[in-house]
Amino acid sequence: MSIPVAYVLLLSFGVFCMGACGFLLRKNALSLLICLELMLSAVNIAFVTFARLHENEGGNILYFLVITVAACESAVGLAILLNFFRIKRSIRLDDATALGVEQ
Amino acid sequence: MDLHQTLFFIFAVLILVTAGLVAFRPRPIESALWLILNFFLTAGLYVVLGAHFTAIIQILVYAGAIMVLFVFVILLLNLDPKELGNEDNPSWASMVLFVGILTFVLVAVKLAKPELLVPFPALQEKSTFGSIEALSSDLLYKYYWGFELAGVILLMSIVGVGLLAYRKRGVATHRGGRT
Amino acid sequence: MTESLNVLAALTVLIPLTGSLLWFWVSPKFGEKTAGTGAVLFMLGSFLAMSALFFQVGEPVRILFFEWFALTKTQSVNFSFLLDPLSLALGMIVTGVGTLIHLYAAGYMHGDKSFGRFFSYLNLFVFSMLMLILSDSLVGIFLGWEGVGLCSYLLISFWFTDEANANAGKKAFIVNRVGDLGFLVAMFSLFKAFGTVSIPELLTLINSGAISADQLFWTQFACWGLVLGAAGKSAQIPLYVWLPDAMAGPTPVSALIHAATMVTAGVYLVCRLQPLFMLHGQILEVLAFIGGFTAFFAATIAIFQNDIKKVLAYSTISQLGYMFLAVGLNAPVAAYFHLITHAFFKALLFLGAGSVIHGLHHEQDMRHMGGLRTKMPITFWTMTIGVLAIAGVPPLAGFVSKDELLHIVSGSHRSWAIFFAFATAFMTAFYMGRLWVMTFFGKFRGHHEAHESPWRMTSVLIVLAIGSAIAGFLNWPILWGGSGSLHHYLGSVVAQAEFPTSTEAFASSIKLAIGSSLIGLLGLGLAYWRYRDFKGKEFEGAVWNPVKNKYYIDEIYQSLIVENLKRVGDFFWKVIDGRILDGFLNGIASRAGGASLQLRKLQTGLTQQYAFWVWVGVLILIVGAFSVR
């Protein structure tokens, strides 16, 4: 195994950054959630890498827990999104500013 | 370059490319599909790293359940592409991209440490890394708290989603227009 | 012996003080009668305690109550009394006349909705006045000085819902303040010169004769300061302007405070510190001149006044001038004698005027009076005695004291003093006669039906009339076979030249007495002849305008002093407080608001923006964490 560790971590971080930029730049809630999944996946890569690096199963275990949380979160997020759509008839984020202040 | 390195580079490049596609394609259905591909490639990467079980779980759960859910919702909503909101805000975009690239560069610089540039150490003789037995025994013995809490989280989200999906009979929902 | 003296002295002062705390709530709770009777009884108690002191004390006594505050590391100011003839005589007057006036006021203020508050203030006044008289240190006197000023203000503006009354009270207080400044300068100068504010110590040091040039310098300041203070409190030129306005208060107030007691504080103070003034004879001369000129000046104004109380106010100023004239000419006993007799007949005159006003339902303009002789007989006869007394008709009290004053003035060989004194005597008789005739003789020119006053008021008038008649015998001149008891009594504390007893002196004194009586009778007669059939016309012609308008002094003060002070006040108010201070504070507030307005822009409600800032924050943390290593 002659892969430099740093490269894998850089990969993970690169995917994460792309996911973050996408998260901040998308206009609709659905794409937002998808980018969120991307970020979580990138983090998972890092966990598994470290598990392999230190030969510790803990990283793998954490991977499972992250997946569990990701699943729950995406389910709940989609449910909220569907409710929002039911009320507002749109999934644009510009329409979801009720918690803001009149500028 | 041996097999591992080759495979790694192929997978790495493809992962990055698909990630970019996921982040920057306008329509959600495209993002979702590219993300599925991304997950498959990630699973391949895990195999290269030696975490076989993890790879299978990635495909089964992540790509096979979560993304299917996403695709279902996208198909359900059946949105007109016009309703997706595509106005550009160049100043915002440039700001975000600037911060993103800045972060990446800073971290990359920090990651380029001599001790991290070495290749992975070889696994031990009788290594059980990535096997189901090792994983499950650690999960149920060493990390039982996490295991239990994960169950609780799953329960909570089931209840939550059920609540959110509940629709009272006779209650009229807001139809049409943005409020 | 000293124990009982301590108790009596404390009682004299504490009874009115307690009273002042009671009546304002006793009256609404238990009724007017209870409060009124209580107040009069309290005053009577104080008078009895004072009398006991008066008859028991022989040699001057110092009573130390407690240490008040520390002045320096070694010295402290004490709360203590000095009981000597000077303070006890005036104390008797204050409590005695005070009791009578309290009784009168119980009748006069009947039905007033702030009945209790009135008596609280009156009691507080008596307390303050007693503090002033009995204290043996300048600080204690100042406490009383300020206290009577305060009570004067409170009582003048008693019916404060009328703005004119409130303004009169303000005027009194503010003008008095100028006098207080003089008092303070005097106190500080004396402390600087002698290192003590205790009066017995001061007098001992001054009388010891060893005065350095430095001390002389400071005592000069002190004397001028005391002159200013006396001018303020005793309404002399230039600070007399508050007294006529003070007539806005209820008549018992005018009688007690502005005739019999408070206004005499200045005379008391100067007499008390006579050795100090002896060091600076020229200042005494100035004081005499001020007194004489004020007497003359005020008398001229009094002739032209139509409000019955204003006539009496200017008359008080004039008579006080007489007292200062005497003090200035080194005759403090004569001044004190006139003070005592004046207390009687001026209180009588004021209370009589109050009776007239009360009987005519608050009519005060003499042009609307007349013929009250038959309608208000008791008031008429008692006031007649008062008028005769002040005019100097023998053998009433006013004649004896005024005659002594004229005697001293004649012997002083100062022509201005002689002119002032005799001219004032004539004018006094004239304007008092005018008042007497316009009020009680002729046809009734008023609007309302007149009636005699209740027993509480008329009984006091009678007592005061008796006092005005016989008080002269307190100090009947030795020259005429009298005892001159006041002379002997006060002579132990103040210095006055002895009366000559030769036969030439006797003859000239008789001539003087006849002369002064004639002046008085002439003045009265002239007034009677002129005003018997008063039809509303007098002193027509523009030449009388300045005097009718009080020589425009109030107007001059207003434009010269008050307006300029107002300008300064306005500047501080509008510019410094308004623009600068308020602007600064409001600026802080508005800047805070502006800052929050800007910060509010962060709260867009857009999730992505929030996430962005989270990211930036984490970035900063990471960079920070890395660089700290």
In angstroms, the CA C175 to CA A34 distance is: 87
pLDDT of residue A15: 95
Burial of C416 (0-12, 13-18, 19+ CB in 10 A): middle
User: How many other C-beta atoms lie within 10 A of the C-beta of residue C129?
Assistant: 30
My answer on whether B73 and B142 are in the same domain is no
Q: Please check whether residue C296 lies inside any domain of the structure.
A: no
Among A24, A25, A98, select the one facing C605 at the smallest CB separation.
A98
In this predicted structure, the answer to whether residue C331 has a pLDDT above a threshold of 90 is no
Domain count, chain A: 1
Examine residue A40 and state whether it is found in any structural domain, yes or no. Answer: yes
Tell if the CB–CB gap between C604 and A103 is shorter than 8 Å.
Answer: yes
Which of A25-29, A99-103, C149-153, C375-379 has the highest mean predicted lDDT (pLDDT)?
C149-153
Alpha-carbon distance A22 to C295, whole Å? Answer: 102
**Tally of helices (H runs) and strands (E runs) in chain B:** 7, 0
- What is the Cα–Cα distance from C79 to C6, expressed in whole angstroms? 12
Measured CA to CA, the distance from residue B48 to residue B11 in angstroms comes to 9
C301 CB-near residues (< 8 Å, 6+ apart): C314, C547, C550, C551
Give the integer Cα–Cα distance in Å for C376 and C395: 25
Nearest chain A residue to C616 by CA: give it. Answer: A20
Beta bridge partners, C626, equal: none
Spatial contact of C227 and C283, defined as CB atoms under 8 Å apart: yes
A34 contact C CB<8A: no
In a domain, A100, yes or no: no
Same domain, yes or no, for C265 and C411? no
Considering the domain architecture, whether residues C408 and C368 belong to the same structural domain is answered as: yes
Q: Is it the case that residue B1 has pLDDT exceeding 70?
A: no
**C563 to chain A nearest CA, in Å?**
52
Asked if residue A31 has pLDDT above 80, the reply is yes
Closest to C369 in 3D by CA, of C458, C308, C452: C308
In a domain, A97, yes or no: no
Q: Is B6 inside a domain boundary? A: yes
Q: What domain count does chain C have?
A: 3
pLDDT band at C197 (very low <50, low <70, confident <90, very high): confident
pLDDT score at C481: 65
pLDDT in tens, C410-449: 888 888 888 999 999 999 999 998 888 888 887 787 777 7
**Cβ within 8 Å of residue C476, ≥6 positions away:** C400, C482, C483, C484
Q: How far is A14 from C31, CA to CA, in rounded Å? A: 94
Mean pLDDT computed over A24-33? 89
> In the predicted model, is pLDDT for residue B10 greater than 90?
yes
Q: List the CATH number of the domain containing B66.
A: 1.20.120.1200
Alpha carbon distance C430, C524 (integer Å) = 5
Which pLDDT belongs to residue B173?
52
In 3D, which of C610, C49, C381 has the Cα closest to residue A93? Answer: C610
- Band (B171; pLDDT cuts 50, 70, 90): low
C568 and C514 in a single domain? The answer is no
- Angstrom distance (rounded) from CA C413 to CA C417: 8
pLDDT over threshold 80, residue C505: no
DSSP state string for B72-133 = HHHHHH---GGGG-----HHHHHHHHHHHHHHHHHHHHHH--GGGSSBPPPP-TT--TT-HH
Do C375 and C318 share a domain, yes or no? yes
Taking CA atoms, C362 is separated from C354, C366, C368, in Å, by: 9, 12, 11
Higher model confidence: residue C400 or residue A35?
Answer: A35
Closest residue on chain B to A98 (Cα): B179
Q: Which pLDDT does position B177 carry in this prediction? A: 45
Residues C374 and C467 grouped into a single domain: yes
CB contact under 8 A, C619 and B102: yes
Residue C611 contacts B, CB cutoff 8 Å = no
> Which of B44, B61, B79 is a domain's end point?
B79
> C249 and C329: one domain?
no
Judge if C466 and C609 occupy the same domain.
Answer: no
Q: Is residue A103 part of a domain?
A: no
Whether residue C489 sits in one domain with residue C444: yes
**In a shared domain, residues C312 and C175:** no
- Name the least confident of B143-152, C63-72, C313-322, C397-406: C63-72
Residue C215 pLDDT: 82
Q: Which of A57, A83, A88 sits opposite B178 (nearest CB)?
A: A88
**pLDDT tens string C73-101:** 777 788 888 888 888 888 998 999 999 99
For chain B, list residues whose CB is within 8 angstroms of any CB belonging to chain C: 95-96, 99, 102-103, 106-107, 110
At residue B176, the pLDDT reads: 47
Burial class (CB in 10 A: 0-12, 13-18, 19+), B30: middle
Residue C298 forms part of a structural domain: no
Give the neighbours of chain C: at least 3 Cβ pairs within 8 Å: A, B
Q: Find the range with the poorest average confidence among B94-98, B113-117, C128-132, C478-482.
A: C478-482
Q: How far is B7 from chain A (nearest CA, A)?
A: 10
The confidence band for B170, taking pLDDT boundaries of 50, 70 and 90, is low
Transcribe C368-425 into DSSP letters.
Answer: G---HHHHSHHHHHHHHHHHHHHHT-TTSHHHHHHHHHHHHHHHTT-HHHHHHHHHHH
pLDDT in tens, B48-88: 988 899 999 999 999 999 999 999 999 988 887 776 666 67
The range of the structural domain enclosing residue B50 comes to: 1-79
* Cross-chain residue pair A68–B154, CB shorter than 8 Å: yes
For C527-546, letters b (16+ CB in 10 Å) and e give beeebeebeeeeeeeeeeee
Quick one: C270 and C355 in the same domain?
no
C444 and C531 assigned to the same domain: yes
Q: Extract the tokens encoding C568.
A: 């300064």
Strand partners, B119: A4
Q: How far apart are the first and last CA of chain C?
A: 90
Which structure tokens are listed for C273? Answer: 């510190």
Pairing assessment for the beta strands C61-70 and C76-83 based on DSSP bridges: antiparallel
- pLDDT tens digits, one per residue of C476-486: 776 666 666 77
d(CA A1, CA A4) in angstroms, rounded, equals 9
Confidence band of A62 (pLDDT split at 50, 70, 90): very high
* pLDDT at residue number A40: 96
For residue C186, being part of any structural domain is answered with yes
Return the percentage of chain C with pLDDT > 70, whole number: 96
Residue C547 in domain: no
Chain C residues whose C-beta sits inside 8 Å of any chain A C-beta: 600-601, 603-608, 611-612, 615
- Cβ-contact C110, C32 below 8 angstroms: yes
Query: Do residue B135 and residue B66 come from a single domain?
Result: no
> If you average pLDDT over every residue of chain C, what do you get?
85
Comparing C-alpha atoms, which of C257, C264, C307, C321 is closest to residue C102?
C257
Rounded to whole angstroms, the Cα distance separating C222 from C305 reads 36
Q: Which of B17, B49, B79 is the last residue of a domain?
A: B79
State pTM to two decimals. 0.69
**Complete DSSP assignment for A39-99:** HHHHHHHHHHHHHHHHT-THHHHHHHHHHHHHHHHHHHHHHHHHHHHHHHS--BGGG--TT
Mean pLDDT computed over every residue of chain B? 84
Does the pLDDT of residue C531 top 60, yes or no?
yes
pLDDT band at B179; cut points 50, 70, 90: very low
Token representation of residue C330: 């080194």
Residue from A13, A24, A31 to probe the interface with C (highest C Cβ count within 10 Å): A24
Give the pLDDT band (50/70/90) at residue B175: low
What is the residue range of C39's domain?
1-279
Question: Does residue A1 or residue C279 have the better pLDDT?
Answer: C279
Calculate mean pLDDT across residues C323-345. Answer: 88
Identify whether the C-beta of residue A85 lies closer than 8 Å to the C-beta of residue B76.
Answer: no
Residue type, C268: Y
Instruction: Evaluate whether B24 touches B43 at the Cβ level (below 8 Å).
Output: no
Domains in chain B: how many in total? 2
Over residues C580-587, mean pLDDT:
85
Asked if A55 lies within 8 A of B127 by C-beta distance, the reply is yes
pLDDT the model gives residue C405: 86
